[in-house]
Structure 1
Amino acid sequence: MLPPAAMWSAAVLLAVANFMAVLDLSIANVSVPNIAGGLGASPGEGTWVITSYAVAEAIIVPLTGWLTSRFGSVRVLVVAMAGFGLCSALCALSTSLNFLVVARILQGLTGGPLIPLSQALLLRIFPSHQQALAMALWSMTTVLAPVVGPLLGGVLCDAVGWPSIFWINVPISIVATLALWKCLQSHETPSRRVEVDLIGLVLLVVWVGALQLTLDLGKDHDWFASDLIVSLTVVSFVGLVTFVIWELTDDNPIVNLKILRYRGFATSLIALALAMGAYFATIVLTPLWLQTDMGYTARQAGTTMAGSGIAAFVASAVASKMLARANHKYMVVGALLYLGIISFIRSGATSQMTYGQIAMQVSFMGLGMSFFIIPLMTSALRSVKTEDLAAASGLINFVRTVAGAFGTSIVTSAWINGGSRYHEEIVSALQNTRHLIDFFVQRGMSTEQSIFLIERVVAGQAAMLSTNQVFTGCSVTFVLTALVVLLMPLASDKTRPAR
C-alpha cells in the first residue's frame, strides 16, 4: 500500500494521463481549418486528423488487456505515456497532411491504453473505501477534457499556431512518464506469456481501416464511380463478415462478440453507436462551419463549443443522482428526443445568427448528452453478467470511439457534397448576374471584386443550407435511436440473454 501522499500523487498523475488522451481528440476539433490551411489541404481532408486518431485509439483498446497480461500494466502505461509524448512531437513537426495523419495514428495507438489503464490502476492502488473518491477524480478529467479542449485549442491556434496543440503534450508526457514509473513500479502486475488473437486483430484493423478510408476518400473519388472506393468497400465488408465469424468461434477472441447475446446490451450498443455518431459529428461540424463560413477565429469557435462541455459537466451530476430513482429507458428516450428537437431547431440556422444564439444552441446540445450517455452505459453494463463486465466495457469503448470517427466522416462528406449541390442550384437560379456586377462596379468596386463578392455570398449561403441539412439528418437519427431504445428491457429487469 502506498503512503497517502504518494497514493494521491499517483492518482493525480493517472488522471492527467486520462485527461491527455481524451483532450487530444477534442483539442483538434477547432483546429481543423488552421491545420488544413497550414498544410495546403481542404477542410474536409483536415478532419482526417480527428478520425485517424479516433480509429487508432479504438483499435488498440481491445488489445490493452493482452498487453498488460504480457508486459505488466505499469510498464505498458509508462511506455504508452512516453510514446504519446514522442508521437505528439511528430505531429507538431509535420509538414504535410499525410505525415500528420500517420503521426496521429501512432499517437492514437499510444494514447488508447492510457484511458483503461489509468482507471484500472486507480482501483488497484486505492483501498476499497476510497475507490469511489479516486474514481470521481478520474471521471472529472473525462468530463472536463472536452470542455478544456476547444478553449485551449482555439487559444493556442490563434496565439501560437496549430503545432502548439501537440507541443503542449511533450513536457507533460516527460514529467508524467518519470513520475508514474517512480510512484507505481512497486505495483507492477505480474506478466505471463498469453496468446493473442492475432488473426482477429488483423481482421479488425482491415475492416475498420478500409471502411474509414472509404468514408474519408469517397467524396474525393466520386464514390462508387471509383474502382478504389469499390475495392475498399468490398474489403471492408468481407473483412467485417470474416471478423464476426472468427471472433464468434475463436476460444480467445480479441473482441468478445458473444456478449451480444444479452438483448439489453446489444440494443444499448446499437443506440450508443447511432447517437454518438450523430452527436460527435455535430461537435466536429460546428467549429468547421463557424471558421470556414461564418468568419470565426479558432478562439471564438472554441469558446462557442466550450458551452457544450460545461453544460454536460453540470448535467452529469444531475443525471447521476437520477439513476437511482428514474427508469433508465425513459431517461434515455427523453434525452434522445430532446437532442432531436434541439438538432431540428439548429437546422433553421442562418448566417445572421449571433455568437450568443449559436453558443446557446450548442450548450443545449451538451445539456442533453449526459442524460443520454450515463443511463445508457449504466443499463448496458447492468444487462450482462459479472464475468462479462470487462469484455462489455471494452466493446462499449470501442463502439463509442469508432462511431464518432465514422459519424465525423459521413457528416463531413454530406456537408461538402451538399454545399457543392446547393452552390450549383443557387448559381443556376441567379438571373441577370451582369446587372449585379454593374451595380457593384457603379459603387466603386472592380469587376473582379464584384465577382468575388457575389461568389462569396453564394458559397456562404450554400454552406449554410448544407449545414442545416446535416442538422436535419442528425435530428432524424436521434429520433430513430429513441425508437431503438424502446426495444430495450426495463432497467429493473434482470439480466437475460437475447433470444
Structure 2
Amino acid sequence: MLFVAALMLAAANFIAVLNMTIANVAVPNIAGALGAAASQGTWVITSFAVGEAITVPLTGWFAARFGAVRVFVVSMVLFGIFSILCGLSTSIGMLVVMRVFQGLSGGPLMPLSQTLMLRIFPKDKAGTAIGIWSMTTLIAPVVGPILGGWLVDDFTWNWVFLINAPIAIGFGLGAWKMLKHYQDAPVRNPFDKVGLVLLLVWVVALQLVLDEGKNLDWFASSQIVALTVIAVVGFAAFLIWELHEKHPVVDLRVFRHRGFNASVITVSVAYAAFFGVSVLTPLWLQSFMGYTATDAGLATAWTGVTALFVAPIVANSKRDPRALVFFGVLWMALVTLWRTVANSDMAFWDIAIPLAVMGFALPFFFIPTSGIALGSVEEREMDSAAGLMNFLRTLSGAFATSVVTTVWANQTTRNHAELVGLADRDGSVTQMLTQSGTPPEVATQVVDYLIVSQSGMLSTNQVMTGIAVMFFIAAAIIWIAPKPTRTIEPGAGGH
C-alpha cells in the first residue's frame, strides 16, 4: 500500500513537471492546426508557466486553510479536467486559457506531493521518500520532449494534453481513498487579498519579460521596460506587505532559517544551470546537427536513466548532506567543462555519454538539498517552505531558458560575423568546389553552411563554459548552510 501511495504522489509531481516541457516540441504543430502564428503558439508554454508560478507559492496557505490532502486531490482532478479541455480546444485563445487553468491546478502538486510523501513514509525511510520525489522532478523535463515529439509525430498534438487525464483523475481519486486519514485539521486564517494581487502582478509581469524579451529585443522595447518596472515595483511592494501581514498568503518568514536560504539558493543556481544544459543541448542538436526532436530527446534522456541508479544510494546515505551536494554539483561542473570541447563531427554516443555521466551526479545535489531545506524549517512551515522552494526553482528554470537561448543566439551571430572574415580567405575551398563541377552560387552556400555550423558549435561551447561557472558557484554556496541537526519527521508539513 505504501508503494502504491508513493507511486500516486510521484506521478502527480511527474505530470506537473512534465507539462513544462512536453508542449515545447508541439508548438509548431499546434499553431499550424489552430491557424495561429508561431509567436502566438509560444503562449501555450507561457500561459502554463504563469498559472503554475502563481499557485506554487500559495500552496502553504491552501494546505493550512483546506488541508493538504484535500488540496492535493482537488488539484489532481482539476489538472486532469483542464488537460482534457486543452486537448479539445478549437482555437488558440481557448487553448491558452485552458493552459492557464491547467497551470493553476498543477502548481500545488509539486510541493504537496513532496510533503505528503514525507508524511506517509516511516521516519527511517524519509530519505527514500525525498529520493523518489526528486527523481521525478529531474527526469520529467528530459522525458517531456521525447514524449511530446513521439505523440506529435505518430498521433496528433491533442494527445500531448489528453495523455494527462487518466493519470491525474484516476490517481487523484485513488489518492483520496488512500491518504484521507492523513488529512490535517484546517486552520481558518483570513485570506490575504492584497498579497495575492501583488503576487499576481509581479509574477505575470516577470514571466512576460522572460518569455517575450527575446522576441522584442529586450530593453530596446518600451513594452519590456514597462513590464520590468511593474515586476520590480510589484515585487518590492509584495515583500513589504507579506513581511508585515499577520496572515500572509506566502509565508516569507521561512527565509529566517540559514539552512533553508543556502539550500534554496544552491538549488536555484544549480537547477538553472542544469535546465540551461537541458534546453541548449536539444536546441543545438536540432539546429546544427540534423537531429529530429525525438532523436535529440533520446540523446538527452540518458541523463535521467543513469540518475535512477544512483538515487537509492544517495537517498539512504548517512554522510553530511552538504558534502554530497558539493560533490554532485562539482561533478556536474566538471562534466559541463568536458562538453566545452565538443565538435560538429561528434556521433550520437559522443554526445550521449557525457550526458549519462552527468546523470550520476544529479541525485547528489537534488536529494540532499531538499532534505537540508525542509529539515531547516519548523514542521508547521513545511508546506510553505516546499512551495517557496519549488516556486524559486521553477522561476530559475524559466530565467535560465530565456538567458541561455538569448546568449546562444547572440553568440552564434557574433561568431558567424568573425568566421566570415577568416574562412576561405584565399578562396581555395570555393575554387576547389567549382573546379569539381559545383555551380558558383552552390559553392558559396556550402561554405556559408560550414561557417554557420561552426558558429553554432562555438557558441554552444561558449555557453557551456558559462554554465560550468554557475555550477562551481552553486557548489560553494551550499557550505553556507549549517550542518543539519535534525531529520525530517514523516508527519511534517501543514501542522
Please tell me the TM-score bracket, short chain as reference: 0.7 to 0.9
1:314 corresponds to 2:280: no
Report the equivalent of 2:213. Answer: 218
Range that drifts further, 188-197 or 363-372: 188-197
Aligned positions of 1:432-443 closer than 5 A: 439-443=432-436
Aligned partners of 1:344 and 1:278: how far apart in 2? 12
Report the equivalent of 1:207. Answer: 202
Query: What is the Cα deviation at residue 358 of structure 1?
Result: 0.8
Aligned partners of 1:129 and 1:490: how far apart in 2? 19
Opposite residue 323 of structure 2, the aligned amino acid is Y
Aligned positions of 1:162-181 closer than 5 A: 162-176=157-171, 179=174
- Name the SS for the 1:380 alignment partner: helix
CA, structure 1 residues 354+52, in 2 after alignment: closer, same or farther (shift >3 Å)?
farther
CA, structure 1 residues 92+349, in 2 after alignment: closer, same or farther (shift >3 Å)?
farther
- TM-score normalized by the length of structure 1: 0.83
CA, structure 1 residues 31+114, in 2 after alignment: closer, same or farther (shift >3 Å)?
same
Report the equivalent of 2:233. Answer: 238
Report the equivalent of 1:426. Answer: 419
1:104 corresponds to 2:102: no
Report the equivalent of 2:335. Answer: 342
Query: What is the Cα deviation at residue 13 of structure 1?
Result: 4.2
CA, structure 1 residues 468+31, in 2 after alignment: closer, same or farther (shift >3 Å)?
farther
Aligned partners of 1:328 and 1:123: how far apart in 2? 18
Report the equivalent of 1:402. Answer: 395
Range that drifts further, 240-249 or 67-76: 67-76
Aligned partners of 1:369 and 1:171: how far apart in 2? 30
Report the equivalent of 2:150. Answer: 155
Q: Deviation string for 1:195-222 (max 9, x for gaps)?
A: 2222222222222222222222222223
CA, structure 1 residues 84+273, in 2 after alignment: closer, same or farther (shift >3 Å)?
same
- Name the SS for the 2:281 alignment partner: helix
- TM-score normalized by the length of structure 2: 0.84
Query: What is the Cα deviation at residue 377 of structure 1?
Result: 2.2
CA, structure 1 residues 393+296, in 2 after alignment: closer, same or farther (shift >3 Å)?
same
Aligned partners of 1:490 and 1:189: how far apart in 2? 31
Q: Deviation string for 1:238-297 (max 9, x for gaps)?
A: 112111111111111222222222222222222221111111121122112212221111
Q: Deviation string for 1:84-107 (max 9, x for gaps)?
A: 234334544568877655543332
Q: Deviation string for 1:441-461 (max 9, x for gaps)?
A: 554555554444344333222
Aligned partners of 1:257 and 1:182: how far apart in 2? 33
- Name the SS for the 1:347 alignment partner: helix
Aligned partners of 2:43 and 2:417: how far apart in 1? 26
Aligned positions of 1:188-337 closer than 5 A: 194-322=189-317, 324=318, 326-337=319-330
Out of 1, 13, 17, which is 1:18 matched to?
13
Aligned partners of 2:339 and 2:90: how far apart in 1? 37
CA, structure 1 residues 339+27, in 2 after alignment: closer, same or farther (shift >3 Å)?
same
- Name the SS for the 1:219 alignment partner: coil
CA, structure 1 residues 102+258, in 2 after alignment: closer, same or farther (shift >3 Å)?
same
Q: Is contact 2:333-2:472 (8 Å) kept?
A: yes
Aligned partners of 2:447 and 2:289: how far apart in 1? 16
Q: Deviation string for 1:420-443 (max 9, x for gaps)?
A: 222222234445698755654554
Range that drifts further, 234-243 or 444-453: 444-453
1:479 corresponds to 2:479: no
Opposite residue 227 of structure 1, the aligned amino acid is S
Report the equivalent of 1:41. Answer: 38
Q: Which runs of 5+ in 1 are unaligned?
A: 495-499
Once the two structures are aligned, what percentage of the paired residues are identical?
47
Out of 458, 469, 490, which is 1:465 matched to?
458
Range that drifts further, 338-347 or 424-433: 424-433
Equivalent pairs counted in the alignment come to 486
Opposite residue 406 of structure 2, the aligned amino acid is S
CA, structure 1 residues 90+286, in 2 after alignment: closer, same or farther (shift >3 Å)?
farther
Query: What is the Cα deviation at residue 168 of structure 1?
Result: 1.6
Q: Is contact 1:17-1:114 (8 Å) kept?
A: yes
Report the equivalent of 2:344. Answer: 351
Aligned partners of 2:332 and 2:124: how far apart in 1? 37
CA, structure 1 residues 91+240, in 2 after alignment: closer, same or farther (shift >3 Å)?
same
Report the equivalent of 1:378. Answer: 371
Q: Is contact 1:150-1:303 (8 Å) kept?
A: no
Aligned positions of 1:94-133 closer than 5 A: 102-119=97-114
Report the equivalent of 2:483. Answer: 490
CA, structure 1 residues 120+490, in 2 after alignment: closer, same or farther (shift >3 Å)?
closer
Opposite residue 210 of structure 1, the aligned amino acid is A
